Amino acid sequence: MKTRLNKGRLLLALGCIFGLTNAAGAAESGEEVELGEVVVTATRTSATLSAAPAAVTVVNAQDIETKNASRLGDVLDQVPSLYLRGGALGQSQGTIGTSGMSLRGIDQTRTLILLDGQPIQDAGSGKVNWRVPFIEDIARVEVVPGAFSALYGSNAIGGVINIITKQPDKREFTAKIKKGWSAASGEDASIYFRDKMENGLGFAGGLGYQNRDSYVNDFVVKAPSCPPAPAPCTPGTPVTGAQAITTREGVPTYLVGDLGTAPWNSTNATAKLFYDLNARDKIYAGVNHQETRQGYIQFNTYLSNTATGAPVSSGTLSINGQRVALTNYDFTLFSFLPLHESATRYFVGYDGTIGNDYLLKADLGKIERTYNFTLASPAATWNSGAGTLSDTPNDGLDGTVQLSFPLGNNHLMVTGLALHQDSVNQQIYTLFNWRDPGSKTAVNSGYNGHSTTTSIFAQDEISATDALKVYLGGRWDDWETRGNNFSNIVPAGTMLYPTRSVSAFSPKVSAVYKPTAITVLRASFGKSFRAPTNQDLYVTTTSRGRTTAGDPNLQPERGTTWEVGGEFHFTENTKVTATYYDTRLSSLIYLMQVSTTNSLRINAGKAKVNGIELGATAKLARWLELDANYAYIDSKMLENTTDPLSVGKRLTDSPRNIAGIGLTAQQGAWSGTLNARYVSHIFWNAQNTDIVEGVPGSYDAHTMVNAKLGYAFSKMVKGSVAVNNLLDKKAYSYFLLPGRNVTAEADFSF
């Protein structure tokens, strides 16, 4: 079917915004409108999936229902080229909601994560709390790989992940309870409601709670060591129970204990109001809140005194005749206890029209975040002793005004203004008792950072022919920053950094060509950038005798990407996709080793990432669907003056191969899914020396198989049982991944 850029094109956009049907828009305009799933992220206006100028992957509410989803990452396990670990996954270790991730081999800080179009990256580190999106409120997730700074500005080097929440376009009332066992031990519960009244007033709201007992996933390893000469290297008390292993770099060491479990609970709440001013215009406002609290259960030592059998957790020891020095600090060093993390998001907006041909969208949102944890001092014990409290409140403010309008019959313009502000205020306190955040006595150090980006963007969607669309666009971003840091302990002092600014222009050109009814071809070229985070610029930290300093003069990182690809519809229910891409990165921020005890962040790196994405979807039978994908990612450091040994090596958090396959079945009252996901080995350090797998701290190649079986007892009552890691594979992704675990869920719809 042909798509034209007159009022019919605008009505298609309005249909996406207001929930109108495509057929209604077609009838009103008299034009034919291409049917299909509508997406908005790739163009900032509505477009059918096949017409989007990128290899967009959509995960909708129905897809989410088929997953055993506790957190956003659980529903993205079949997205091509997307690698997730840690806090993105609901059954993983609790530690924090942030995690490692990459899209097409480009890591989390260089991939933009949006919630209803608003960035949710932390204002200090640039990482994402994956617990913030409320699963029950997600309508769909659009994953758009490639350079998209031309539309979205900073961070969109690897692509954009846009979480789009539900609107009150229909009545929905659900209540869910879930019980987990083994590594998923705990309970989930949620209630969600949305509805729209005849007077145009709509409401959506919900509350969710998750509680996890956690599982042992972090371990204590110690290598033999001797005191400095001329002191003798004399072994101490003989102990048993140690397991001889190596580090991920292959250095001989011993596994001597674990850090215990990390139980946590998380709460999500949302409330949104919508009001239709008329048949086409609406206003809306809302608030979302997410909060996580985490604790730790006491560590476990595996060592016993050979003579008495008593447990041993400190002292100068003899393990297989070798001298090993162990302290309580080894069991508390990485115990972030207690930990508290929260995010509250407020937003207002308007979606509507000006006259007959102009679409106007204006929104304003603010996110207020808290993040604090405690650390023990080297002299502390598990139960008491001095420590520090790291308290890092930060917030983000975003506003956008966007206007879309036709220019003649062949052009659709999208233009707008945007404002983004980040602020962070960190203070590190001395604690009398590291187990009690309320025992703080003084401020040791801290920093303040403020960054503002003002932007203007424009894109022309050109219907060159009935079969060819060309997108020409660009964005001008003016990034401004200022900050300071201070220390009240040796070496004491305060550093004030004046305001400075850097501008970036990010152009992009894309083309979508449909030579036949079953073929879509795409090509694009674009530039992108990522502004340094406040942490990159202003933070100076000292840990275990090593000081790392930010550089307030850091420049933005840059990217250049081109790609070609297409999709082929062999039958109505069979589609194959293929994409080749190439990204060049420059001015990458790395740590320069100034001395044995000091490092400095500088712009020092150049890299390339290229790869191939393949995907296939097919309906194998009336009741059975297949989804499969494979990604080959070739990443390489091309230049790094801070670490010459990293040149020619793979980028960190960048697997070479990712493959997934999923089956979804629906037969009568029964439903089921079976998914398998393979991720190859990734490297933690830039020199790629961490080649050993199967040891604490390693990043193993692994395949995870998950299954879920559901049954609808009635229209209002459903039940399901899910098994994650069905084959009970043992693997590390720094932390030990969850073993086989089972959850049972009951869903009630009214």
Per-residue pLDDT of 680-730, as tens digits, reads 999 988 899 999 999 999 999 999 999 999 999 999 999 999 999 999 999
More confident residue, 634 or 217: 634
Per-residue pLDDT of 378-387, as tens digits, reads 888 888 889 9
pTM: 0.92
Q: Looking at residue 173, what is its pLDDT?
A: 96
pLDDT band at 572 (very low <50, low <70, confident <90, very high): confident
Per-residue pLDDT of 468-506, as tens digits, reads 999 999 999 999 999 999 989 888 899 999 999 999 999
Q: Distance between CA 144 and CA 41 in Å, rounded?
A: 7
Contacts of 489 (CB under 8 A, 6+ apart): 444, 445
Query: Can you give the residue ranges of every domain in the chain?
Result: 36-218+259-299+335-749
Q: Looking at residue 549, what is its pLDDT?
A: 81
Task: Using alpha carbons only, give the angle 457, 459, 462 rounded to the nearest 5 degrees.
Answer: 170
Residue 580 corresponds to which tokens in the numbers above? 């080749």
Q: Distance between CA 105 and CA 102 in Å, rounded?
A: 5
**Chain centroid, CA 229 distance in Å:** 48
Strand partners, 188: 178, 210
Residue 77 corresponds to which tokens in the numbers above? 């396990």
The percent of residues in the chain predicted with pLDDT above 90, rounded, is: 72
Per-residue pLDDT of 180-206, as tens digits, reads 999 999 999 999 999 999 999 999 999
What is the CB neighbour count within 10 angstroms for residue 620? Answer: 12
Q: Looking at residue 75, what is its pLDDT?
A: 86
β-pairing, 38-39 with 47-48? antiparallel
Dihedrals phi, psi of 18, to nearest 5 degrees:
-105, 0
Q: Distance between CA 746 and CA 176 in Å, rounded?
A: 6
pLDDT band at 127 (very low <50, low <70, confident <90, very high): confident
DSSP assignment letter at 128? B
Q: Looking at residue 624, what is its pLDDT?
A: 96
* pLDDT at position 573 over 60: yes
Q: Distance between CA 214 and CA 94 in Å, rounded?
A: 7
pLDDT band at 543 (very low <50, low <70, confident <90, very high): low
For 515, the 3-state DSSP assignment is strand
The structure tokens 């005890």 sit at 597
Closest CA to 31 of 69, 4, 53, 65: 4
* Average confidence (pLDDT) over 80-87: 86
Closest CA to 163 of 267, 231, 88, 100: 88
Dihedrals phi, psi of 534, to nearest 5 degrees:
-60, -35
pLDDT band at 118 (very low <50, low <70, confident <90, very high): very high
* pLDDT at position 649 over 70: yes
Q: Distance between CA 613 and CA 563 in Å, rounded?
A: 11
| Element spanning 102, H or E | strand 101-103
Helix and strand element counts for the chain (H, E): 6, 46
pLDDT, the chain, mean: 89
* Average confidence (pLDDT) over 166-186: 94
Q: What is the CA radius of gyration of the chain?
A: 27
Task: Using alpha carbons only, give the angle 395, 396, 397 rounded to the nearest 5 degrees.
Answer: 130
| Element spanning 426, H or E | strand 411-431
For 172, the 3-state DSSP assignment is strand
pLDDT band at 339 (very low <50, low <70, confident <90, very high): confident
Strand partners, 305: 239
* pLDDT at position 335 over 70: no
Q: Exposure of 459 by Cβ count < 10 A (0-12 exposed, 13-18 middle, 19+ buried)?
A: buried
Q: Looking at residue 11, what is its pLDDT?
A: 42
Contacts of 144 (CB under 8 A, 6+ apart): 41, 42, 52, 54, 56, 159, 160, 161, 162
Closest CA to 48 of 614, 569, 456: 569
Dihedrals phi, psi of 208, to nearest 5 degrees:
-135, 145
Q: Looking at residue 54, what is its pLDDT?
A: 95
Q: Looking at residue 69, what is its pLDDT?
A: 85
Q: Looking at residue 361, what is its pLDDT?
A: 96
Per-residue pLDDT of 617-639, as tens digits, reads 999 999 999 999 999 999 999 99
Q: Distance between CA 402 and CA 413 in Å, rounded?
A: 10
Q: Looking at residue 334, what is its pLDDT?
A: 60
* pLDDT at position 594 over 80: no
Task: Using alpha carbons only, give the angle 704, 706, 710 rounded to the nearest 5 degrees.
Answer: 175
pLDDT band at 7 (very low <50, low <70, confident <90, very high): very low
Closest CA to 60 of 69, 716, 51, 52: 69
Tell whether the torsion through CA atoms of 675, 74, 116 and 612 is positive or negative: negative
Closest CA to 370 of 345, 337, 395: 395
**Among 10-24, 184-198, 519-533, which is the least confidently predicted range?**
10-24
* pLDDT at position 123 over 90: no
Contact 389, 397 (CB under 8 A): no
* Average confidence (pLDDT) over 213-240: 91
Q: Exposure of 253 by Cβ count < 10 A (0-12 exposed, 13-18 middle, 19+ buried)?
A: buried
* Average confidence (pLDDT) over 70-80: 87
Q: Looking at residue 741, what is its pLDDT?
A: 94
Q: Distance between CA 395 and CA 425 in Å, rounded?
A: 9
Q: Helix, strand, coil: what percent of the chain each, to 5?
A: 10, 55, 35
* Average confidence (pLDDT) over 203-224: 94
Closest CA to 52 of 138, 129, 151, 135: 151
More confident residue, 334 or 53: 53
For 137, the 3-state DSSP assignment is helix
* pLDDT at position 463 over 90: yes
What CA–CA distances, in Å, run from 142 to 126, 145, 249? 20, 10, 38
| Element spanning 319, H or E | strand 315-319
Q: Which CATH number fits domain 36-218+259-299+335-749: 2.40.170.20, 1.20.1050.10, 3.40.1280.10, 2.60.40.10?
A: 2.40.170.20
| Element spanning 526, H or E | strand 519-530
Q: Exposure of 579 by Cβ count < 10 A (0-12 exposed, 13-18 middle, 19+ buried)?
A: buried
Task: Using alpha carbons only, give the angle 327, 293, 123 rounded to the nearest 5 degrees.
Answer: 95
**Chain centroid, CA 647 distance in Å:** 27
* pLDDT at position 522 over 70: yes
What CA–CA distances, in Å, run from 31 to 90, 181, 602? 46, 55, 56
The percent of residues in the chain predicted with pLDDT above 70, rounded, is: 92
